[in-house]
Every structure is written in structure tokens, then in C-alpha cells.
Structure 1
């Protein structure tokens, strides 16, 4: 019998406490992503400021205004290269994230079904599902960009942005349409994120193709809208708490920034992954581990009951 949302949250929390190692994929993803970002921005910096170094000028000694002016001109001169590098960077980071996200879901699935998980589950789930989850991530990003059509009429009505800034009253109607378009786009993104929130879990848990995963994720969402909305709001609220904690505690403190980042990686991300995985598993009628019914060792429990 499928669990209600209260049971999912309660048992999911206990599963997370028992398997704190589920945070490992998120920590590794942050580290690898940071390394890739460092090399990317270093490469972009060399591309944009390389001519200044060759001419004997030290860009670090230039005033910020002049430095930004040089970088802006360099971007325009190398716009195709910058866009290509940006696309490669996005695809690489997305693939790395897909691998570790698939690994985290695989660990959460194993923990929900047997009570325990290990890093081998992360590696296996990542290897099997990374590419398909990567394709789903790119597809969902494209679906999000489709919403730009809501902004186009307002942008066309506004016309020349410089003229609008000089005389806003001349295009007040266009500004209203533009603002309304942005609002509709944001609403579209929220609905899209909510309705597709189970797609990644369907793909990894059932090892589905991207289109099958989207179909299955939507089907489970439509059959359990209230539970999904509650868990979505809870997950979003935890993310907001982590995001704004630094501002309330001390925005200038590097220690607070490190602390809130670690809290997000070690607590919020793995805990919500366990919740979402358990929700998908129970709503698709899977047999899940229950510490109140099973012994500490699930294998021992199965061996003891084979004779019945």
C-alpha cells in the first residue's frame, strides 16, 4: 500500500540518518564542478586578456572601469569562441551533474529498499544512467527556454531599449506587456519544474529512456499531485532557508558561506533526494525497507522467513 506524505517524510528522514554517505555524490559534484569552472574561467580570462599580457600591460593594475571595457571589447571580438566555450562548459557540467545525481538516486533507491547503501551503488547507478539523465536535463532546459515566447511580444512592443530608457512613458504599454511576459514565463517555469519533478527519479529507478521517463514522471505526478506539491514546497523551502541563512547570520563572513554550503550539500540535497526517491518508489507500489518490521540486517530477515 502506498505511503502517505507524512510517512514518506518520516521514514525518509530515518533512512537518511542511517545512510549519511548519500551526501557523497553531492559533495563530489560540487568539487568536480568547481574544478571545471576554475579552468573554464581561467581559459576565458586568458582569451580575453591575453593580448594585454602580450603587450606588456598588467591587467591587474588597470582600473576596474578600463578592465571591464577591455573585456567587453574582447568578448565582442571573440563572441563565437566565447559562445562555443560556454556551450561546452554547460554540457560538461551538466553531464558531471547527471552522473552524480544518478548516483545519489541509485543510493537512495538502495537505501529505501534494503535499509543500507554504499558508494558502489553510486558508481553503478551513475554509469548506467548518466548519459540518459544528461539528455533529459538538456531536454528540460530546452523546454524551459521555450517559455521565452511569452516575453517576445512585450520586447517587440518596447522596441529600442535605449529610447525606452530615455522616455519610458512613450512605451508604457510595451513595458506592461514585457513585465507580464516575464511573469508568465516565471509561472511557466514553476509549473514545468513541478510537473517534471519526478522525471529524473523515474529514469534512474526504472532505467527508462528519456521520453519514457518524462511520460512516467508525469503519470505519477498526475496521480499524486497533492503529495508531490507538498514535497516540492518543502524541498523549495529548505533550499530558500539555506540560501538566505548567510544573509541573516552574516553576509560578509566566509566561514558562514562555507557552513551554509556544506549544510546544503550534506543535509538538504541528500535528504530531499531520499524523500523524492521514496515518494516515487511507494507511489509505484515497490516494497520498501521498514525498520519497525525488518531486523537490522535485511538479509538475515529474508533468510529467517524463507521457510514460511
Structure 2
């Protein structure tokens, strides 16, 4: 069994020899934009009455400004009619479903490509299409289930929300229970994301259904807590590092910020995403005995 540091190092070497592993993430972004732009145009046409809310009302600084903004929003929405509101909701739901399906297809494809790269040391687009077509529907359902499990944590906010006074602005002491609920929800969501991090990999690598993949991820976490936590922290640190670079230049007001923001976004999509996907795939395959290290000859 590989140590986590050795696993990260070997994963980096495999990624360096298979730069095509970025293809699913690039295609996912492109297809998502092709889906998003028409819906955005439809929203712009359907929600035209809300244009009456100018920048001044959106930058409200006092309770009176906020109440005025809310009343203007209520008037704008009521003037739209139920048909327009229902249409907007249906468009939003359709957009989210399509984007989720696109994400599920290319996520499954990325895992399939990572498996091929680990087993044969070379990957190609055929494994992406094969894995995507085979597993995208189950992965879509698994994503919905995991989202519902996360939303279930919102019950932690209910006690604090019920205790809030109806007058604005509320007293500082009245916000205590709500803030405590928010902190508990964040901790719950982070813990759940850690425990379910391997669900997509279990689903694709072991050909499981949505519920079985979630159970497999929970079981994997139970026996590999340290490795999952370390890899999760490594990926999180790299992601935050890229964001901090972009934020630092934004705060300095440099003219190079737009270009740097584009570069960091591309690095995240074309380097960090395929690399972290490869690490997670190798971790699951190694710990489950799917990847036999003795049969994979090291290049050094």
C-alpha cells in the first residue's frame, strides 16, 4: 500500500505524461457555457421588469433602504404575472438539470481517463466517452442525493431563524443563535463533503449505483480517514493558493489583474482539476486493491 506522499508524487508523474487528462474539464466548461448563455438570454428577457431596481437600491446602507428595495422588488415581481414567474422557475430548473448532467458526464469521463492512465500509463479520449456514457446518469442521481444530504443540514438554522425578531435591524444578541446555527451548518457541510469525496470514484471505478456509491464512500472514509483528510487538505490548499494570488493582485489595483485572473482560472481548470482527479482515483484504486502497484512499473 502506497504512502500518501508517494501516491501524490507518482500521480504527478502520471499527470505529466498524460496532459490530455485536462480534456474533460475543458469540454465541461465549454459545453456548460453553451448551455448557460441561451438560458441567460431568456432570463434577461423574461425578468425585464426587475431592471427598475437600480444600483442605488442594490447598494442600500440602512434599514429604510433595504425595506424600500424589498417593496420595489415585490412590486416588480407582482407586475410580471404568475405565468412569467412560473416560466422563469422552469427555465432555472431546466438549466440546473442540464448543467448537472453535463458535469456528471464529464466527471465520469475524467475518472475513466484517470483510470486508463494509471493502468496503462497512457490515456485517450475514447475512455472519457465510454465512461461518461456508461456512468453519467448514476452519477447525476448520486449528485442529487448528496446535495439533498447537504441541504438537510439547513435544519440547524431553524432554531436561530425562529428566534430572530421581526423588526429591522435586529439586536446583536438576537443574532447569536443564528450565527451558531450557521457555524454548525458549515461544519456539517465540510464534514459531509469529506466523507462523500470518493463517491464519484466508487461509482465509476466499481460500477456502482448512486446509493451504493455513497455507501462505498462512507465505508472508504471510515477505514482511510487520514489519507482522505490529507489529500483533501492538499487539494484545498492548492485551490486557495491560486485564489489568494488572484485576490492579492486585485487588492493592489494592478492593471494586470484581469489577465492574472484568467491565468489562475486556466491553471485551476487545466492543471489542478485533472491532477487532483488523478490523485483521488489513484487513492481509491490503491486502497481498494484495484490498482496493483507491483504490476505498474515505475518510470524511474
| TM-score normalised by length of structure 2 | 0.86
Residue aligning to 1:168: 171
Task: Tell whether the 8 Å contact from 1:3 to 1:282 is kept in structure 2 after alignment.
Answer: yes
Q: Do the aligned partners of residues 67 and 155 (structure 1) sit closer, same or farther apart at CA in structure 2, a change above 3 Å counting?
A: closer
Secondary structure of 2:208's partner? coil
Give 2:280's aligned residue.
Answer: 276
Q: Deviations over 1:231-259 (max 9, x none)?
A: 00001111111222211234662211211
Does residue 213 of the first structure (1) align with residue 216 of the second (2)? no
| Per-residue deviation, residues 123-154 of structure 1 (Å, max 9, x unmatched) | 00000000110111111111111011000110
How far residue 66 of structure 1 moved from its aligned partner, in angstroms, is: 8.0
Q: 1:182: which partner in 2?
A: 182
**1:240: which partner in 2?**
240
Mapped contact 1:112–1:288 kept (Cα < 8 A): no
Counterpart position of 1:302 = none
Partner of 1:156: 162
Measure the CA separation in 1 of the matches of 2:153 and 2:114: 32
Provide the rounded CA distance (Å) in 2 between the counterparts of 1:48 and 1:72.
13
Closer, same or farther in 2 for the Cα pair 1:4/1:153, shift >3 Å?
same
Deviation digits for residues 68-113 of structure 1, max 9, x if unmatched?
Answer: 9787744453433322222211111111000001000000011111
Report deviation, 1:216.
Answer: 1.1
SS of the residue corresponding to residue 40 of structure 1 reads: helix
Partner of 1:47: 46
Superposed CA deviations along residues 39-71 of structure 1, whole A, max 9, x for unmatched, are: 11111000012x79xxxxxx79x9645899787
The separation in 2 between residues aligned to 1:288 and 1:83, in whole angstroms, is: 49
Relative distance call for 1:118 and 1:184 in structure 2 (3 A) is same
Counterparts in 2 of 1:237 and 1:294: CA distance versus 1, 3 Å: closer
- CA contact 2:108–2:128 (8 Å) conserved in 1: yes
Q: SS in structure 2 opposite 1:80?
A: helix
1:122 counterpart = 2:128: yes
Q: 3-state DSSP class of the match of 1:151?
A: helix
Cα distance in 2 between the residues matched to 1:63 and 1:146? 35
* Number of equivalences: 281
For 1:79, the equivalent position in structure 2 comes to 85
Tell me, in whole angstroms, the C-alpha distance in 1 between the residues paired with 2:171 and 2:203: 48
Distance 2:131 2:17 in 1: 20
Equivalent pair of 1:158/1:164 in contact (CA under 8 Å)? no
What's the C-alpha RMSD, in Å, of the aligned pairs?
Answer: 2.6
**SS state at 1:3 partner:** coil
Match of 1:111 in 2: 117
Equivalent-residue separation in structure 1 for 2:57 and 2:161 (angstroms): 31
Change (3 A) 1:239 1:157: same
> What is the alpha-carbon distance in structure 2 between the residues aligned to residue 292 and residue 126 of structure 1?
25
Cα distance in 2 for partners of 1:250, 1:67 equals: 23
Distance 1:130 1:73 in 2: 42
